[in-house]
Structure 1
């Protein structure tokens, strides 16, 4: 693994991003560290913590995953996917809301679940699992409201201005929900080893994580029919993240967390997306070579 840090630095630099990574062999504990303890705003990656909290409460009998919740059109958290983009009244189960939250990063579904479990419960779950650098601070709707306030009267157009980007509280780990790459791989390892919740609930979470639809980040580094990638993305202006687990047919299981930030304010930066998969592949290849 001697050249792995250099290869990671080169990959991030070539893509025009600053990147932080942690990768760990779930079964042996071997790891690759490239800024693994850097505190970073999590964006939608924090939905993974909501997912675990939901299943922990279900395992303790404090709620039923089949419990129904109503979602009227008014007051939905904005977003381009899932319930957030729908126009008519919806009723669904907690577990189906969790599916939407993770598979298409549905902000409305995430806030429905946060309203049900509570921010304090999410932070208690993180503390129980030893995620000392991880904290949820607000609903996703509140985060978006804060971004609109910080952007000012020009609205979304202002997000092309680096000076506006610099004042967004959602991008400041001191004021936003945050974590570290190491905390996220610790959480993923706990899910895959059934330490976060009993096996029935661990299997449910792994299934949902495996249904994420986005192929352009972590999964892009593993274009093989027999390699399974399960993960959760996070995106805000200048931030592109993904955390997930890569499973090989020989039984190898690798938790990977890649967090990136770019100076470019463009919403579409294919190389910045793709480097998440590139960096993950570099790290996983190093772990596999050391087995």
Structure 2
């Protein structure tokens, strides 16, 4: 069970850029979740000024599930660029343990795919088998070194995806803070995640992400084709989902301004109603981000 942090019993601070919306509805929704016992964290950065727009318990290290794929993709893209990894190397699905709980590749007829296609599957649908193979190719140690080099001391990829977690397994796939994750997405769109080439490649992969059901639900974007929006909306994101965990980080930029954001909620997933309240909080943030950018 996840409860409000003992380190912070205050309500979420209201901090907003001068002349912008206060994100009052988002703050109110997160306060209600925190009062109900959830762990909540949010961080929003203005891409133009680099200033903090919204923050609440953004220092807390919380489970982030599939959001840990992003630093893995950065390490994979760096390996492609340096030649340490061959993007056309074919890897067989049977080379790793099956993960039956989710994913797309397990339903495809192709038993083997190149590493570059696995990166697309990992970014677009969070495919757990593709993620596990990429993690085996680069190794946990290199991903952890990459995270350290990116200046994210409170973020960690702990383990592969598994159907069941035993006593000897890490309790989570990945953990992180809202502050570090929002900063990572800011670095990606500003070509500072390793270098311009790696940043561009990872941003391109993430632009294919089809999970637009949380923050992105308020954008009205087509989940299957949103990398060239007719209204000039730039959007990339990655979500993380597990029992009692919802997390999302991304970038949303419109005609007026742009933001990098991250929000994490850990909650008691006791009913569909509990889950829907959490999803509603993400969508409210999406509405206020859209108003900020437009």
TM-score normalised per structure 2: 0.79
**Aligned counterpart, 1:30:** 51
Distance 2:108 2:82 in 1: 35
**Aligned counterpart, 1:145:** 164
**Aligned counterpart, 1:261:** 266
- Secondary structure of the structure 2 residue equivalent to 1:72: helix
Give the direction of change, closer, same or farther, for the CA distance of 1:137–1:52 in structure 2 (3 Å limit): same
- Secondary structure of the structure 2 residue equivalent to 1:206: helix
Give the direction of change, closer, same or farther, for the CA distance of 1:87–1:93 in structure 2 (3 Å limit): closer
**Which of 272, 275, 279 is the aligned partner of 2:281?**
275
**Aligned-pair CA distance for 1:239:** 1.0
Cα contact 1:220–1:278 (8 A) shared by 2: no
- Secondary structure of the structure 2 residue equivalent to 1:145: coil
Distance 2:91 2:134 in 1: 9
**Aligned counterpart, 1:56:** 78
Cα contact 1:247–1:254 (8 A) shared by 2: yes
Cα contact 1:21–1:258 (8 A) shared by 2: yes
Cα contact 1:218–1:244 (8 A) shared by 2: no
- Secondary structure of the structure 2 residue equivalent to 1:170: coil
CA distances 1:36-70 after superposition (whole Å, capped 9, x unpaired): 11110111110111111111222222112222211
**Aligned-pair CA distance for 1:263:** 2.5
**Aligned counterpart, 1:39:** 61
**Aligned counterpart, 1:170:** 171
Going by fraction, where is helix more abundant, 1 or 2? 1
**Aligned counterpart, 2:244:** 238
RMSD over aligned Cα atoms: 2.7
CA distances 1:176-205 after superposition (whole Å, capped 9, x unpaired): 621100110111111111111333332221
Single out whichever of 191-200 and 119-128 deviates more from structure 2.
191-200
Instruction: Kindly indicate whether residue 88 of structure 2 is the aligned counterpart of residue 66 of structure 1.
Output: yes
**Which of 189, 193, 196 is the aligned partner of 1:192?**
189
Cα contact 2:72–2:135 (8 A) shared by 1: yes
Distance 1:281 1:62 in 2: 42
**Aligned-pair CA distance for 1:27:** 2.9
Distance 1:170 1:107 in 2: 16
Distance 1:245 1:265 in 2: 31
**Aligned counterpart, 1:160:** none
CA distances 1:154-189 after superposition (whole Å, capped 9, x unpaired): xxxxxxxxxxxxxx9636xxxx62110011011111
Distance 2:164 2:264 in 1: 23
Instruction: Kindly indicate whether residue 209 of structure 2 is the aligned counterpart of residue 212 of structure 1.
Output: yes
Cα contact 2:25–2:284 (8 A) shared by 1: no
**Aligned-pair CA distance for 1:74:** 7.4
Where structure 2 has 5 or more consecutive residues not aligned to the other structure, the ranges are 1-15, 222-228
Distance 2:96 2:76 in 1: 24
**Aligned counterpart, 1:202:** 199
